Amino acid sequence: MKTLFILVLIYISAGFTTAIEFKNEEKVVLLGNTFIERDVNFGHIETHLALALSDKRPTFRNLGWSGDTVYCHARSYFGPPQEGFDRLKKHIQFLKPTLVLMCYGAVSSFDGEPGLGSFLEGYKRLMAMIRSNSGARIVLVSPPPCETLGFPLPDMEPQNKKLALYSEAIKKLAAEEDCDFVNLFEALGAGKKRLIPPVTINGLHFSEQGYKKVAVALGDGLKVKAPNVDLPNKEKLRKIVMEKNKLFFNRWRPQNETYLHGFRKHEQGNNAKEIPQFDPLIANKDKNIQEIALSLSAK
């Protein structure tokens, strides 16, 4: 009976890994922990997807936050994680995404099996919040594997075992929640074989070259292919993506939040009026990215 149940699950989840329909003017939000956040500095994921989906004229917003969990531990400032959860809700309401790529589990998996229940519960709650505040479709992305790079860096094998457990659970969650799933853990080798050259700088965090591989793996998982573009043109596009990311970072996660919107806003809150002035600058870059991606794909 149990076997049958599992078989059914596999069948269902396999059923949902068919290509997603991408919409016109898709508003994509990337959400997760350090792994997602650091692509802001490289722009590989966005560049790859911008080229692959150029005819849809998508926009991308990276809401990754180092150390974040499904409970939004890292997004809170002076309050409990709930404050971070509420902050993310505001960001979702503001951005109104149509598609959210979520990648959690890397932080929680350090807790191993005992933390799994709470992780899944939190993930469901987070997904529900995003859906009810944006109506966006959700794609769950499993966390990537770690690498063991040798002494004096730690052996990441035990961590990979935990990640495998979490990835499997996320896959099931995706099926239960009726959403797409990209198995980045498997796609990047599941920690079973050592990649040469390595894709991380310390066993955990991806290098620039690593993110190139991630971008392709993610695109493959979403069943989209980027056209072959010569490197100088691709780099030109990526540069603008990174500029846009910098502008957007100052928009959604400005410094001095204590004074702009926090408990000292009665002192310096007048300066918060500057923050929305980033919007037209970001919109310009979006347009620029879309146009370049489209022209490169047409070649």
Partner 1 sequence: MMFCFRVIAVGFVVLSGNAFAQRNLPLDAIPKPDPSEQIKTFVLDEGLEINLFASDPMIAKPIGMNWDEKGRLWVVSSRLYPHIKPGQRSDDKVVVLEDLNGDGVADKSTDFAKDLLIPTGIMPGDGGVYVANSTEILFLRDLDGDLKEDQRRVVLSGFGTEDTHHIIHAFRGGPEGMMYFNQSIYIHSHIETPHGVRRLMAGGIWHYRPETGELEVFSRGFVNSWGHIFDRYGQSFATDGAYGEGINYVFPGSVFVTAYNAKRIMRGLNPGQPKHCGLEIVNSSHFPDEWQGNLITNDFRGHRVNRFVMSESGSGYVSRQAPDLIRTTHKSFRPIDVKVGPDGALYIADWYNPIIQHGEVDFRDPRRDQVHGRIWRITYKGRKLSQKPKFEDQGIRAVVNQLKSPDSYTRHFAKRNLRLRKKSEVIRELKFLEGSEGITEEDRLEILWANQAVNELDESLLKKLLVSKDHRIRAAAVRVLYHWSDRLEDHMDFLGQAVIDDHPRVRLEAVSALRQVGTVQSFKAILKAFTKDIDANIDFALWLSAREMESIWLPALENGAISFGGNTSALEFILKAAEKPSALKLLGPSLTSLDISSAGFRELASLFADIGKTEDLDLLHSSAFYKERNKEDRDFVFKELIRANQQRQVRPSEMRIADLLKLLVSGNSGVAELCGSWKVFEARKEIIEWLKNDERVEVAASSLAIMADNESKQALLELAEDESRGILQRSAAVGALTRLDPVKTSELAAQVLVKAKTTQSAELIFEAYLTKEKSSEHLAAALSGKKMNAEVAAAGVRKSLSSGGDTSQLVEALSKSGSLQPIVNGLSDEEMKLLMSEVQSKGDAVRGENIYRKNQLLCQACHAIGGGGGLIGPDLVSIGSSAPVDYIIDSLLEPAKKIKEGYHTTVITTKGGDLIAGGLIREGDREIILRMADGSERKIAKVAIEKKEISPISLMPPGLTASLRKDEFIDLIRFLSSLGKEGKFKVPSGRYVKRWRVLPTNGKAGNLIRTKGIQYAMNGKNDLPWKAAYSKVNAELPIEEVGINNGFNNKLSAAKFEISVSVSGEIGLRIDDTKGLQIIVSGKMIEATKESIFNLEKGIHNIIFITDRAVRESNLKVQLFDVGGSPGRASLIGGP
Instruction: Give just the sign of the alpha carbon dihedral 278, 281, 287, 290.
Output: negative
What residue has token string 């991806």? 206
Q: Minimum CB separation from partner 1 for residue 240, in Å?
A: 15
Member of 73, 91, 162, 213 binding partner 1 (CB under 8 A) = 73
Q: Residue 112 region, left (φ>0) first, then alpha (ψ -120 to 50), else beta? A: left
Angle between helices 116-134 and 81-95 (to 10 degrees): 30
Q: Which residues contact 56 (CB under 8 A, 6 or more apart)?
A: 22, 23, 24, 25, 26
Q: 223 vs 253, which CB is nearer to partner 1?
A: 253
Q: 18 vs 255, which CB is nearer to partner 1?
A: 255
Does 202 contact partner 1 by CB under 8 A? yes
Q: Between 19 and 58, how does the x/- string for binding to partner 1 read (CB under 8 A)?
A: --------------xx--xx--x-----------------
Q: Minimum CB separation from partner 1 for residue 255, in Å?
A: 4
Q: How remote is the C-alpha of 154 from its chain's centroid? A: 26
Member of 20, 204, 224, 294 binding partner 1 (CB under 8 A) = 204
Six token digits for residue 208: 């620039």
Cβ burial of 135 (10 Å; 0-12, 13-18, 19+) is: exposed
Member of 165, 190, 281, 294 binding partner 1 (CB under 8 A) = 281
Length in residues, the chain: 299
Residues 119, 108: Cα–Cα separation, whole Å:
7
Q: 55 vs 267, which CB is nearer to partner 1?
A: 267
- Which ranges of the chain does DSSP label H, i.e. alpha helix? 2-15, 34-37, 44-52, 81-95, 116-134, 157-176, 184-187, 208-221, 231-252, 257-260, 265-268, 278-298
Q: Minimum CB separation from partner 1 for residue 229, in Å?
A: 24
Q: Minimum CB separation from partner 1 for residue 270, in Å?
A: 4
Binding residues for partner 1 restricted to 221-280, rule: CB under 8 A = 246, 250, 253-259, 262-271, 274-275, 277-278
Does 94 contact partner 1 by CB under 8 A? no
Does 110 contact partner 1 by CB under 8 A? yes
Q: 177 vs 243, which CB is nearer to partner 1?
A: 243
Does 107 contact partner 1 by CB under 8 A? yes
Does 152 contact partner 1 by CB under 8 A? yes
Member of 9, 12, 129, 153 binding partner 1 (CB under 8 A) = 153
Is the separation of the CB atoms in 199 and 206 below 8 Å?
yes
Instruction: Write out the residues near partner 1 by the rule CB under 8 A.
Output: 33-34, 37-38, 41, 65-68, 73-74, 76-78, 106-107, 110, 146, 152-154, 156, 159, 201-205, 207, 246, 250, 253-259, 262-271, 274-275, 277-278, 281
